[in-house]
Structure 1
Amino acid sequence: MQSSSSSSTYAQIQGTNYHHKTKKVHGSTSDIISNLPSNVIENILMCLPIRDAVRTCVLSSKWRYNWVKLPQLVFDDMFWKILGENQLSTKKKLLVNMYQVFLLHNGPILKFTLSISGLESCSEIDQFILVVSRNGVQEFTLRIWNGEHHKLPLSFFSCLLLTHLNLRTCVFEPPPTFEGFSRLTSLVFYEVLISADTLASLISSCPLLDQLSLESFAIFDHLEIVARNLTFLHIRANFKTVRFINTPLLAIVSIDLKVPIDGQVFKEGGTSNMIKLFDSLPVENLDIGFHYVKSLAAGGIPEGLPTTLDHLKILKLSEICFGEPDEVACVLLLIRSSPNLQKVRIEASTIVSPISVTDGVLEFWNVQGDSDVSWNQLREVEMRFISGMKTELEFIKLILAKSPMLESMIIEPHSKEVAKKGLRILKGVIRFRRASPNAEIIYEDPNED
């Protein structure tokens, strides 16, 4: 009975007639294939898309049922493409193929992925989740690409062996009895509907969590992260404050707001709420996005951060407008507050500010040039997408003059400015005084391969 079903499933997934297409293999090649060690066979099958794994049942009688014990089921765009548009033109046909695979599968399902472009929420997904929840799933990916959010069924929260979780466009509402995923090491949420309290509770109840990625258009008033083993964090969401508690291993943080929000949202007593982030941020590598810098500058820049960033070694800032005084002051504040900073990468914005505003920035740089500030640990600086504004060049001049240990300054103009200003930018920079005798100016043309 199983042999007939297996052949039928193969034929439908293959999109051809199984009985007419197969050819019997004779000789030593058949013996080699038939007698491969089971662990080798499993490794081969795990490298194949599901359809190709099913096709191996025709290699020999000993291979007929190997694929049904495959510990991973991956239904992704490759699965969709292999089936072909002619065969798979409706959601119903997709589900039929998935049902057939699940029907014949026999054994643990350690990895489950359902991520097909255009996939929408449907009740059948819950049935698949129920099956994998009963088969020891450890890596779970569900990405809904179109339509409404998919509410995770109760069976999902019984997947207590999870080590990797990746969700897109889902609703995460655990039952009151849910106590977290004690083995989870990697968590990725993209547009997942979840309250700030539930998210904080989830993170704190995953003691082995090492990597966390969160992107959402939802607004979180206060985001609290308690994760003693967390080393990597990526957040691109709308929040007023973020607080880190007991994150001693956190080394790499990339943070930004999803969309710009009215600056008044961030102000408290004349200072941006975003400044509170640095109260508890013991990181070595920090990447701050454009919208976050804007919010950090809302309400004015304080003289200093709540605490110095003693651990910070690498700082990346995106889309900085060197014609805006608050953004320029924010950049300098972060660099000045990081005594052990070794590398800075800044991507400039192409927005042009009024002359009256840039005059204020130039005056600001002149004041800084006369100060006794010095960045003694700074080794590398990258200035990307610059347009040749005088305010940009004055910043480069300041860095060169105040960095006695600098080894390299990389200059990359915006691709649209190379022809008009590329050479002028380079000539201007190489004339600046350098505090470090070993500082090398490296010009990179964005239009060259």
Structure 2
Amino acid sequence: MELAPRTHNASKVELEDVINSMPDNVVTNILDRLPIQCAVRTGILSRKWRYKWTLLTHIEFDADFYVYLLRRKIKNWFDVRNIISRLLLHLKGPITKFILNIPVDMVPDVEDINNWVMFLSRKGMKVFDLENMRVTPLELSTHIFSCVDLEYLLLKNCSLHSPPTFCGLPNLLYLYVYKVECEHLGETITKSPLLEVLSFQTCIGRIKLVDIVKLKNLKQLLLPLHLLDHTMITSSLIVDLGSYFPNLEELILDFRQVRVNFFFKTQLTRKLDPFDPALRLWVSIARYTSNVVLNDAVPPPAIFSSKLNSIILGQTQLQDVVIQSFQGLENELLLIKILLEGSPLLKKIAIHPLLKVFGENNERFKVATKLLTFERASPKAKVEIDW
């Protein structure tokens, strides 16, 4: 009868020994996977774990962190600043990942954030994610350009200016910029030669095409065409973009705020193979087709036969197409017709319409009926409309 408690106590002691004898690298791996508030609270596990949280290398002050603070009735920036600053100063080793989310109802002190960036630049930071949810842009200092170990950089609603002495971020692989104002944006980006993923969204600044094409390692590119420092956006320029990047796997072009001189024969005569970036370019054109403006001086032919489509399109290998913000415009319907008639492997075209344009069921029925009349090169091709 006395053996059971002894066995239980022995197993409990063994478990405690295993927890307390974990190597620091294993402990760090565990802590980095926990929310920051939970990682700090592991100090209550035992005396030996009291300061284990100081081994953290991944620091994330995200939306969940602010929810936790609100529950503790911490709402002003002064208290938040003290918590973050004290935590950073207690960390012993490198800080390879830092995520900072600034809520819309929080008014930060820019100097605090710039001081943290300067501190992190000396700690081997590889991942930096700064998302400013407020309306007012956050003005960053030049300290961000001294983080030479950066591999991943995401900036949202910020403004920054690269120093004259900036030589680039030699290890940067992923760059996402959203609502970012930067003087000499293109020149700044091209000083990071290893970039594989580059995504712009509603940025302020101009980019020279001669700068962007220097990034030969790019695999994914999201580019608003209005950022290009180009007098005229033509269909030939759009197609040529795919050939400038030998390793490109995905090209997404944003046609908003631009007028495109769109010549079907110029753009579509090129033969497409399954590994040609132009295939993905076509998917992207389909996504943003409502923003492509046809040149009034050169209207497309009124009727495209299946045979002509096959010659022009070169029998694409497209399988899935997504069309956003569909309005039922003539150029949208024409593009769908061409894709259906010239894509023998097509499985689905998913259409997401602007519902405010199709208020009446009668209008929806007319569009759906017209789509059903289009010939299909693929017997499996489906057209799905998300009403």
* TM-score (structure 2 length as normaliser): 0.75
Tell me what 1:378 maps to: 316
Cα deviations by residue, 1:405-426 (Å, 9 ceiling, x for unpaired): 3454546574657954667766
Mapped to 1, the partners of 2:359 and 2:113 lie a distance apart of 51
The answer as to whether partners of 2:201 and 2:224 remain within 8 angstroms in 1 is: yes
Percent of aligned pairs with the same amino acid: 25
Tell me what 2:221 maps to: 233
Tell me what 1:439 maps to: 379
Tell me what 1:313 maps to: 279
3-state SS of the aligned residue for 2:81? helix
The answer as to whether partners of 1:184 and 1:208 remain within 8 angstroms in 2 is: yes
2:260 aligned with 1:296: yes
User: Which residue type is aligned with residue 365 of structure 1?
Assistant: A
How much has 1:103 moved relative to structure 2?
Answer: 2.8
The answer as to whether partners of 1:136 and 1:161 remain within 8 angstroms in 2 is: yes
Higher mean alpha-carbon deviation, 61-70 vs 381-390, is at 381-390
Unpaired runs of at least 5, structure 2: 1-11
3-state SS of the aligned residue for 2:266? coil
3-state SS of the aligned residue for 1:281? helix
Q: Give 1:98-247 correspondences, 5 Å limit.
A: 98-118=84-104, 119=106, 120-146=108-134, 148-195=136-183, 198-220=184-206, 222-223=208-209, 224-225=211-212, 226-236=214-224, 238-241=226-229
More strand by share: 1
Tell me what 2:59 maps to: 73
Distance 1:88 1:80, change over 3 A: same
The answer as to whether partners of 1:210 and 1:230 remain within 8 angstroms in 2 is: yes
Distance 1:278 1:389, change over 3 A: closer
Mapped to 1, the partners of 2:375 and 2:116 lie a distance apart of 66
Tell me what 1:287 maps to: 252
Name which of 326, 333, 355 aligns with 2:294: 326
Mapped to 1, the partners of 2:95 and 2:45 lie a distance apart of 24
3-state SS of the aligned residue for 1:140? strand
2:82 aligned with 1:96: yes
User: Which residue type is aligned with residue 83 of structure 1?
Assistant: L
Mapped to 2, the partners of 1:216 and 1:394 lie a distance apart of 28
Mapped to 2, the partners of 1:134 and 1:426 lie a distance apart of 59
The answer as to whether partners of 1:50 and 1:74 remain within 8 angstroms in 2 is: yes
Q: Give 1:14-33 correspondences, 5 Å limit.
A: 27-33=13-19
Name which of 237, 252, 260 aligns with 1:276: 237
Distance 1:204 1:58, change over 3 A: same
Cα deviations by residue, 1:84-130 (Å, 9 ceiling, x for unpaired): 25521211011111122123222211112222213535211222122
Tell me what 2:305 maps to: 369
Task: Let me know the Cα RMSD of the aligned residues.
Answer: 3.8
Tell me what 2:45 maps to: 59
How much has 1:70 moved relative to structure 2?
Answer: 0.7
Cα deviations by residue, 1:256-295 (Å, 9 ceiling, x for unpaired): xxxxxxxxxx55xxxx467534434325544333426x51
3-state SS of the aligned residue for 1:183? coil
Mapped to 1, the partners of 2:327 and 2:136 lie a distance apart of 42
3-state SS of the aligned residue for 2:208? strand
3-state SS of the aligned residue for 2:260? helix
Mapped to 2, the partners of 1:39 and 1:64 lie a distance apart of 16
If asked which structure has higher relative contact order (CA below 8 Å, sep 6+), I would say: 2
Distance 1:86 1:178, change over 3 A: same
Mapped to 2, the partners of 1:369 and 1:82 lie a distance apart of 62
Mapped to 2, the partners of 1:105 and 1:381 lie a distance apart of 48
Higher mean alpha-carbon deviation, 415-424 vs 368-377, is at 415-424
Distance 1:400 1:61, change over 3 A: closer
User: Which residue type is aligned with residue 234 of structure 1?
Assistant: L
Mapped to 2, the partners of 1:396 and 1:329 lie a distance apart of 22
How much has 1:205 moved relative to structure 2?
Answer: 2.1
How much has 1:305 moved relative to structure 2?
Answer: 4.7
User: Which residue type is aligned with residue 43 of structure 2?
Assistant: C
Mapped to 2, the partners of 1:301 and 1:61 lie a distance apart of 73
Aligned residues: 354
The answer as to whether partners of 1:160 and 1:183 remain within 8 angstroms in 2 is: yes
